[in-house]
Amino acid sequence: MKYIDYTYYNDEYVGFPVSESDFDRFAERASDMISFISFGRAEKVMTEKSIDSPKLKERYDAIKKATAAQTEVFATLGEESITGKPLKEISREQLGNAAVNYDVHLRQTTELYGIPISGIAMGILNNAGLLYRGI
């Protein structure tokens, strides 16, 4: 179950540009990841028939925004980010006695089973109380 649609991602979240054909795949996987890291709470909230309480509305909005942030991570890092395969980065090149080291700080992301997770999504879900492991 996708928690966001292409219109929400482009018009409300205003995420990194992604084609509509790629969006569905990224958003579906992002929704799976948000459900997983929220211990299934996200799916319960998103399948509620009525969003009438302020707390439920806050969580509903948080899940949509977190899903958009996770979709953006997948869109910017590409197809390999979804599969959990290590992203290949060149950190050092050498030719004879000359060598160049590259700054590899862009991989300082949280990962779960090799899949990068948006720090923004984690913060949004945490503030909504969806990352708490207890009851």
pLDDT in tens, 80-130: 777 665 555 556 667 777 777 665 545 556 888 888 899 999 999 999 999
pTM of the model as a whole? 0.81
Task: Map residue 110 onto helix, strand or coil.
Answer: strand
Amino acid at 80: E
Within 13 A of 125's CA, how many CA atoms are on the CB side?
30
Q: Which pLDDT score, from 0 to 100, does residue 87 have?
A: 53
Look-up of token digits 């992203």: 87
Share of the chain above pLDDT 70, in %: 82
Residue 104: CA atoms inside 13 Å, Cβ hemisphere, count?
Answer: 9
Is a pLDDT exceeding 60 seen at residue 58?
A: yes
Dist CA 57 CA 109 (whole Å): 29
What is the CB neighbour count within 10 angstroms for residue 21? 8
Let me know if 76 is exposed, middle or buried by CB neighbors in 10 A (0-12, 13-18, 19+): middle
The single residue listed with the structure tokens 């599969």 is: 83
How high is the mean pLDDT of the chain? 86
Residue 36: both structure tokens together: 């997983």
